[in-house]
Chain A
Amino acid sequence: MKTRVDIIDNRTGEPVAAELFDEVTVEHFIEAQQEWRPIVLKAARQLASRGSRDLVPQHFHWDWTVKAPELGVLANTFYGIRYDKKLQGLMKLETVGEFCRCRLPEQADRSLVYVDYVEVAPWNLKTLMVALGEKPLYSPIGSRLIEAAVLKSKEEDCKGRIGLHSLPITEQFYRQACRMTPVGRDSAKQNLLWLEYTPEQAENFLTGVRP
């Protein structure tokens, strides 16, 4: 699957046509690791040296040899966003598994699509780019990926319900930008905050309605 998604080029303020695709391969993991990691490390060191440890991205060293077997499993769906010949974001969803159950009391135990990880290229993240004396390039990559997760949930007949564990540093994105409902901290997952959409909230996110 490949579909057009508009993103904003922050240099001009104008929309540009990026591509959302689901045929993610090992080469994409390697590309992300090779292209993103040096910048993340550089920005992390800058932030740490300024004493901004709480802003340090709790980011990644992906071992793609571990990630590669995940690709052949039907329970997993991957999405990437590409623009200007570069990977701008990557996401992994699970459509079955231990986390694919709603925890909000009003929809307890119903099926949802679990967002296992979302990563946005570091050159699109303001906090990292400002640390390097630059500006973020494209947005809103995270929102486009969450939108894809909601659409996948609808395709799976889960009515747009998605759930995820958020790092402390990303709670603001899911609470405010995505308007997901925080349900509680999961002691089984490093006390990370669990957030979830009801079908109505998912629809509001897709259409931009703010009740």
Chain B
Amino acid sequence: MADKRTMTLNLTDQEMRLLEDLSARKDVSKTALLRQALRLYQMVEARLSRGEKLFFEDEEKKKAELMVV
């Protein structure tokens, strides 16, 4: 495993509740979930930088574009 570094993270009550809710739903620790979120952000960012677009698709196959700020 690569060496790890530690940081302190301040979250609002709402953000902490969200973090706890998601980590329970995904059955991973809060730390693991935040690491997943960071990687997902990098992945999306990398593809957007290459000119790709990100879409969600609903059941009726209608696409809505996700705008990432």
Contacts and interface: CB of A to CB of B under 8 A. Distances in A.
Chains A and B come from one and the same complex: yes
Interface of A: 1, 69, 72-75, 95-97, 100, 107, 109-111, 155-159
Given A69-B46, A155-B1, A156-B32, A74 B39 contact: yes
Contacts of B32: 111, 156-158
Interface residues on B, range: 20 to 34
Contacts, number: 53
Contact of A75 (B1, B25, B28, B42): B42
Given A74-B42, A75-B43, A109-B26, A96 B50 contact: no
A110 B27 CA distance: 6
B27 A75 contact: no
A156 B27 CA distance: 11
B25 A96 contact: no
Interface string B1-32: 11000000000000000000000011111011
A75 B43 CA distance: 7
Interface in B11-67: 25-29, 31-33, 35-40, 42-43, 46, 50
Given A111-B33, A157-B32, 12 more contacts: A73-B39, A75-B39, A75-B40, A75-B42, A75-B43, A96-B40, A97-B43, A109-B25, A109-B26, A110-B27, A111-B27, A156-B36
Contacts of B46: 69, 72-73
